[in-house]
Structure 1
Amino acid sequence: MDTKFDFGEPESQNTVYIRRVATSTLPEEIREQVPDLDSMYAVHDAEGEQLALVRDRSMAFVLARQNELSPVSVH
């Protein structure tokens, strides 16, 4: 049972995190473009850099998958 197993490269390179963002916390130029929204969804990489900002949660997941990334919801 002490057989070593090569798990390969970690998948975390392809993982992105989806989180809800209150529009009131966004820069003024973005708030002006979406006056009817209370929140948006941000897509972040493993280092926390914001990659995208979209209108709804499902779009964030679709965007991630279209770019061969594995989305994970963050609360």
Structure 2
Amino acid sequence: MHTKHELKALAGKSIYLKPIDVADLPEDVQAEAGSASELFAVHNAQGEQVALVASPAVASHLAALNDMTLVALH
């Protein structure tokens, strides 16, 4: 079982994804998205968007490179 301190430390290293329709993004971002119809916003534990990626696989790879964990939200 984790202590409160351990859980707080784990939360600081967690990220989650939110799918975003490319059509809802600013025009300059839409242009960079190419033919993609959906991108994924990467959010930290505080809910701040920290990246925009093409797929969950890319997010997972970036998380691993930065010693973070991609978590699922229910």
After TM superposition, where is structure 1 displaced by more than 2 Å over at least 4 residues in a row? Answer: none
Q: How many residues align?
A: 71
The alignment yields a C-alpha RMSD, in angstroms, of: 2.0
Unaligned runs of 5+ residues in structure 1 are: none
Query: How much does 1:6 deviate?
Result: 7.3
- 1:47 aligned counterpart, secondary structure: coil
Query: How much does 1:35 deviate?
Result: 3.0
Unaligned runs of 5+ residues in structure 2 are: none
Structure 1 residues 45 and 24, CA, compared in 2 at 3 Å: closer, same or farther? same
More helix by share: 2
Distance 2:2 2:19 in 1: 36
TM-score (norm 1): 0.80
TM-score (norm 2): 0.81
Structure 1 residues 46 and 33, CA, compared in 2 at 3 Å: closer, same or farther? same
Answer with 1 or 2: which has the greater Rg.
Answer: 1
- 2:67 aligned counterpart, secondary structure: coil
Corresponding residue for 2:33? 34
